[in-house]
Amino acid sequence: MGRITIQNLSKTYINRRRFPRGDDDPQVRQGERITVLKDINLEIENGEMVCFLGPSGCGKSTLLRIIAGFEPACGGVVQVNGQPVTGPSADHIFVFQHSGLFPWMTVAENVGLGLRHLKNHHSRQAQVTEFIEMVELEGFEHHYPRQLSGGMQRRAELARALAVNPDIMIMDEPFSGLDFLTHMKMREEVVNMHAFIRKTMLLVTHNIDDALIMGDHIVILGSSPTAVTMDRILDFPRPRNFEKSPELGRLRSELFLMLGINYAV
């Protein structure tokens, strides 16, 4: 289960670097308070693919770090499956990171990390093989990360995430730095993987098309301080196609406008 409830969430950072050196005034020494998130309310259903969009610096990563328990909130509540988040939970949440593979381990060893609990060597190996096949990396089981292309490394990371089998998978700009075709391929793979595992996935992206093609639910955050400016369930049929679905195309133009771009490209 991966149901998330966020109520009146707020987050303030203190910019301690702002006080002048040697200033002993306690108020000044407290530093300038920067409110990043204010009154965020969201309901995320189990199994949803939620795409977060918003201008740079609006607090998308901060929000995901709070959900993952890496960062405390300053106000409000975040609950996962009805339980308040009080810290990181390796059992429930997997944070998909760039270069998250251990460089001294092969692809199979990296993927196998998530299956350490399986005592039977043969069933563990069988599952490692299954996940590696799922991301089409068969033949590269014994390669080290440095021997893989950027796209293959991301696929190996996906296989590792699948092996961990978390309730919630968090992906912060998972396609950044990939070339156009690899980006498209990875996007397709994540959509297929999600359709297969139906786990809750939270994905931060700067790419409106990614959000529209992938998301069951789109959340747009506005800045200064960040509030939810759009919270919308997408029920367009899949595979999604802008040419075949004029409504999807209209929503695309609307999102471009909301994010300050007048002419959708």
Ligand X SMILES: Nc1ncnc2c1ncn2[C@@H]1O[C@H](COP(=O)(O)OP(=O)(O)OP(=O)(O)O)[C@@H](O)[C@H]1O
- Spatial distance between the Cα atoms of 49 and 29, rounded to a whole number of angstroms: 42
Which of 40, 42, 53, 59: binder of ligand X (CB under 6 A)? 59
- Spatial distance between the Cα atoms of 222 and 40, rounded to a whole number of angstroms: 11
Shorter beta-carbon distance to ligand X: residue 163 or 168: 168
- Residue 62 as a binder of ligand X (CB under 6 A): the answer is yes
174 phi and psi, to 5 degrees? -70, -15
Q: How far is the CB of 169 from ligand X (least distance, A)?
A: 17
- Residue 13 as a binder of ligand X (CB under 6 A): the answer is yes
Q: How far is the CB of 152 from ligand X (least distance, A)?
A: 25
Q: How far is the CB of 153 from ligand X (least distance, A)?
A: 21
- Spatial distance between the Cα atoms of 129 and 139, rounded to a whole number of angstroms: 10
Contacts of 37 (CB under 8 A, 6+ apart): 9, 10, 11, 59, 62, 63, 66, 73, 225, 226
Shorter beta-carbon distance to ligand X: residue 32 or 45: 32
Q: Could you tell me the sign of the dihedral formed by the alpha carbons of 252, 158, 85, 226, in that order? A: negative
Q: How far is the CB of 127 from ligand X (least distance, A)?
A: 34
Which of 2, 40, 54, 171: binder of ligand X (CB under 6 A)? 54
The residue to which tokens 């944070």 are assigned: 95
- Residue 58 as a binder of ligand X (CB under 6 A): the answer is yes
41 is written with which tokens? 């309310």
- Residue 57 as a binder of ligand X (CB under 6 A): the answer is yes
> For ligand X, which stretch binds (CB under 6 A), given 58-66, 84-92, 135-143, 249-257?
58-66
Q: How far is the CB of 66 from ligand X (least distance, A)?
A: 10
Which of 27, 56, 120, 262: binder of ligand X (CB under 6 A)? 56
Number of residues this chain uses to bind ligand X (CB under 6 A): 10
Shorter beta-carbon distance to ligand X: residue 60 or 199: 60
98 is written with which tokens? 């760039």
Q: For the chain, give the longest Cα–Cα distance.
A: 65
For residue 246, say if its preceding peptide bond is cis, omega within 30 degrees of 0: no
Which of 60, 160, 183, 199: binder of ligand X (CB under 6 A)? 60
Shorter beta-carbon distance to ligand X: residue 51 or 58: 58
Q: Which runs of consecutive H residues, i.e. helices, occur in the chain?
A: 26-29, 60-68, 107-112, 121-134, 150-164, 180-197, 208-214, 246-258
Q: How far is the CB of 74 from ligand X (least distance, A)?
A: 12
Residues binding ligand X (CB under 6 A): 13, 36, 54, 56-62
